[in-house]
């Protein structure tokens, strides 16, 4: 590992100022991804600004009935938080389906959002990768890609975003609070990550030195149900082959409000806007869910070995929405 400087500032302003002066520095959250990447030689920051002990460790209700989650809150804490379990089951389920106890005890909310892809070519410094070294090429397109993107990829990159939590947050319409030398700003979660296009090295729309300070969830929709489901190679502890998070509100048998996000299909949590629009006012039935999701996934452009993801994701989404609809009708939470 390359040697680096380590700072643990006491407040966000100092943290932001430190990184503003260090073009190749990085914030260090729980370190569960960054430390690994440093060991692999994929990341080689010359300055680490430790933000894990900044005072962003609270989970509190907002004035409007939503929830504000500090960026340094650990995944383990958030997963079992009573308000999260009660009002946002999709988030709790997503967190528990990801990683292990040991990792969740260390990983933070901010760090989880900024974790890098687990594409094998990105993680292997001996191989070309446009995300790691722009312009070197993308061997995944012809190589090992059974777990890579089917939506929104480009000829330059077919990586997926590995976060389970981000999928749930996308389905919840979360807002990300960001601090920087230019003052705070708020970014919708769905605008935080970007598709690769011709600049796959940029995972997010954040500028260098911007620091995630919190994630805000809007108030839960009355009577809505939410859930997260994940398919993977083994029964536990593996990154998703496909996952889906959804929030569904049904009134008198019709879809009143729905938000669906897919994971492991694209470089960002994939909000199924097409499906959502198609479903509004439709009967909350398997048939309409299936139609809508098919419509959404028509945009998929699978590679040689990852075409199975499309029907897999569709089936998961349709059966989950069907179950959420049944739960709405039955009145069970």
CB of 264 to other proteins, least distance (A): 12
**Residues in contact with other proteins, shown as a per-residue x/- string from 161 to 200 under the rule CB under 8 A:** ----------------------------------------
Interface with other proteins includes 328 (CB under 8 A)? no
**Residues in contact with other proteins, shown as a per-residue x/- string from 39 to 78 under the rule CB under 8 A:** x----------x-x-----------------------x--
Distance, CA of 78 to chain centre: 15
Pairing state between β 5-7 and 185-188: unpaired
CB of 218 to other proteins, least distance (A): 29
Query: What are the CA-CA distances from residue 92 to residues 74, 97, 165, 257, 332 (Å)?
Result: 12, 9, 8, 21, 18
Query: What are the CA-CA distances from residue 264 to residues 38, 100, 139, 241 (Å)?
Result: 24, 18, 19, 6
Q: Count other C-beta atoms under 10 Å from residue 186's C-beta.
A: 10
Close Cβ partners of 171 (under 8 Å, ≥ 6 residues apart): 90, 226, 245, 246, 247, 259, 260, 261, 269, 271
Rounded to whole angstroms, how far apart are CA atoms 76 and 171? 20
Stretch touching other proteins by CB under 8 A, among 17-25, 209-217, 249-257, 311-319 = 311-319
CB of 246 to other proteins, least distance (A): 14
Spatial CA neighbour of 161 closest among 196, 208, 199: 196
Interface with other proteins includes 237 (CB under 8 A)? yes
Among 126, 135, 222, 333, binds other proteins (CB under 8 A): 126
What DSSP state is assigned to residue 221? P
CB of 37 to other proteins, least distance (A): 10
List of residues contacting other proteins (CB under 8 A): 1-4, 6, 28, 31-32, 35-36, 38-39, 50, 52, 76, 96, 99-103, 105-106, 118, 120-121, 123-124, 126-127, 139, 142-144, 146, 231, 233-239, 241, 290, 305-306, 308-309, 311-312, 314-316, 318-319
């Amino acid at each position: 590992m390359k040697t680096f400087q380590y700072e643990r500032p006491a407040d966000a302003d100092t943290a932001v100022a430190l990184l503003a002066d260090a073009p190749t520095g990085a914030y260090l959250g729980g370190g569960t991804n960054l430390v690994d990447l440093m060991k692999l030689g994929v990341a080689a920051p010359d300055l680490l600004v430790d933000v894990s002990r900044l005072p962003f460790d609270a989970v509190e209700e907002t004035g409007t009935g939503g929830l504000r989650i500090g960026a340094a809150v650990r995944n383990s804490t958030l997963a079992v938080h009573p308000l999260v379990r009660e009002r946002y089951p999709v988030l709790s389920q997503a967190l528990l389906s990801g990683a292990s106890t040991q990792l969740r005890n260390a990983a933070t909310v901010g760090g989880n959002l900024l974790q890098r892809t687990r594409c094998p070519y990105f993680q292997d410094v001996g191989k070309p990768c446009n995300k790691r070294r722009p312009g070197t090429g993308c061997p995944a397109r012809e190589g090992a890609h059974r777990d890579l993107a089917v939506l929104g990829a480009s000829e330059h990159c077919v990586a997926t975003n590995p976060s389970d939590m981000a999928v749930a947050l996308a389905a919840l319409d979360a807002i990300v609070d960001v601090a920087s030398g230019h003052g705070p700003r708020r970014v919708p979660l769905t605008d935080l990550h970007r598709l690769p296009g011709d600049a796959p090295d940029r995972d997010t729309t954040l500028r260098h030195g911007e620091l995630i300070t919190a994630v805000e969830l809007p108030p839960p929709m009355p009577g809505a149900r939410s859930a997260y489901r994940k398919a993977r190679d083994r029964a536990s502890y593996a990154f998703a082959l496909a996952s889906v998070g959804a929030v569904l509100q049904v009134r008198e048998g019709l879809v009143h409000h729905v938000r669906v996000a897919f994971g492991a299909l694209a470089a960002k949590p994939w909000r199924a806007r097409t499906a959502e629009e198609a479903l509004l006012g439709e009967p909350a039935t398997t048939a309409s869910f299936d139609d809508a999701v098919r419509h959404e996934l028509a945009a998929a452009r699978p590679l040689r070995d990852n075409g199975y993801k499309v029907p897999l994701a569709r089936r998961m989404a349709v059966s989950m929405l069907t179950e959420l609809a049944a739960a709405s009708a039955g009145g069970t939470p």
